Amino acid sequence: MKREDSQVRQNKQAARLKKLQEQEKQQKVEFRKRMEKEVSDFIQDSGQIKKKFQPMNKIERSILHDVVEVAGLTSFSFGEDDECRYVMIFKKEFAPSDEELDSYRRGEEWDPQKAEEKRRLKELAQRQEEEAAQQGPVVVSPASDYKDKYSHLIGKGAAKDAAHMLQANKTYGCVPVANKRDTRSIEEAMNEIRAKKRLRQSGEELPSTS
């Protein structure tokens, strides 16, 4: 008795599964017919070069791609999430460029005028870079030589003559060390200081020293 009940349940499950499969098959057939009708209308409409469909599941997208291929058109799927992916179809003579496809993949609308302007700017920048590379590094030269600018003050040969007169190991700043060295002895210097003190105390004028 139990064995008969189990067999009956299996038969019912198999019948339900077969019915579901037939329903799915019929839905696919109906969906394909509807897509064939929309694709046919698209081909006959000379004012349309592309068509965007509503989001579809994976099976529906596969059916649509097959219909488009049979019709001799081009199709692409866009969208990140599977539930949001949709199909766009194009007529062969208006197949999208890589830039247009990238725009759709980013979820942006395709604007041919903006794309053309962007392409021209890119070509211009590239051409300028190539020209700059051919010219080499830019060397900036002063408008005039500083010696010519101040020649009326110091003379044209002054700076050159001064450079020859001064030596790095005998100078401090721009004055030779020999001009700063005190050649007097300590005793002579002390005598001169004492004489200056006495003259200040007596109010007399200090005589000039050689």
Contacts for 40-49: CB closer than 8 Å, 24+ residues apart: 40/71, 42/73, 42/89, 43/71, 43/73, 43/91, 48/91, 49/90, 49/91, 49/94
Q: What number of helices (H) and strands (E) belong to the chain?
A: 9, 5
Determine, yes or no, domain membership for 181. yes
User: Is residue 124 in some structural domain?
Assistant: no
Residues 106 and 48 occupy one common structural domain? yes
Pair 155, 106 in one domain: no
DSSP string of 48-64, one letter each residue? -SEEEPPP--HHHHHHH
* Of 90, 110, 130, the domain-final residue: 110
For residue 210, what pLDDT is reported?
46
Instruction: Identify the pLDDT of residue 190.
Output: 84
- Give the structural domain span for 189: 146-202
In a domain, 129, yes or no: no
pLDDT for 171 equals 47
Residue 206: predicted pLDDT: 47
CATH of the domain at 77: 3.30.1370.50
Do 78 and 165 fall within a single domain?
Answer: no
Residue-wise pLDDT tens for the chain (210 aa)?
Answer: 556 677 778 888 888 888 899 999 999 999 999 999 999 999 999 999 999 999 999 999 999 999 999 999 999 999 987 788 999 999 999 999 998 999 899 888 888 777 777 778 888 888 888 888 888 666 666 666 655 655 555 555 555 555 555 444 444 455 555 555 556 677 787 888 888 888 877 765 545 544
pTM > 0.75: no
Q: Are 189 and 182 in contact (CB under 8 A)?
A: yes
Burial class for 67, CB neighbours closer than 10 Å (0-12, 13-18, 19+)? buried
Q: Does residue 103 share a domain with residue 154?
A: no
Residues 150 and 74 placed together within one structural domain of the fold? no
Q: Could you tell me if 19 and 96 lie in one domain?
A: yes
Domain count within the chain: 2
